[in-house]
A = this chain, B = another copy of it.
Amino acid sequence: MRQNVQFITVAVKDLEVSRRFYSHGLGWRPVLDITDVVFYQVGHGLLLSLFPLLDFAADVGAPISIDSGFSLGQVVETKPEVDDAIERAREAGAKILKEPQDAAFGGYHSYFADPDGHRWEVAWNPGFSVAEDGTVSISEIG
């Protein structure tokens, strides 16, 4: 399990309200803004994503409440790296919420919970790439 984060995902009740807050209220520019998710680049190789609660819970495969609705995501280079990271987390005592499997977005991923229940996603995501200057590209795949 490498020591890095590429995604901060937060659950939202109403994507239109949240999109308005971040894109119009704060004036942020999305990297990708599609029907059911909005991504903002918030650092070198780092995305913040707004994800509707029910879609988020379906993706995790476990219930989420709005106020506990966040996860930290790590992108790895290959599918076996997802398996390896999850085995390491399991040995460390993590609760596996979703065993490694093909993901709805077209990649391969898994979720676990740390000792306090904070969620981590480890994903192989061929639609995600980072340029030398830290700029992220993300596209729909699959």
Contact = CB atoms under 8 A, between A and B. Distances in A.
B5 A46 contact: yes
A93 B25 contact: yes
Given A21-B93, A48-B72, A3 B116 contact: no
A32 to B, nearest CB: 14
A67 interface: yes
Contacts of A3: 26, 28-29, 40-42
Given A6-B43, A26-B88, A67-B116, 17 more contacts: A1-B27, A3-B41, A5-B48, A10-B114, A11-B116, A17-B115, A18-B115, A21-B92, A21-B114, A22-B114, A24-B92, A25-B88, A25-B93, A43-B43, A44-B45, A46-B46, A70-B118
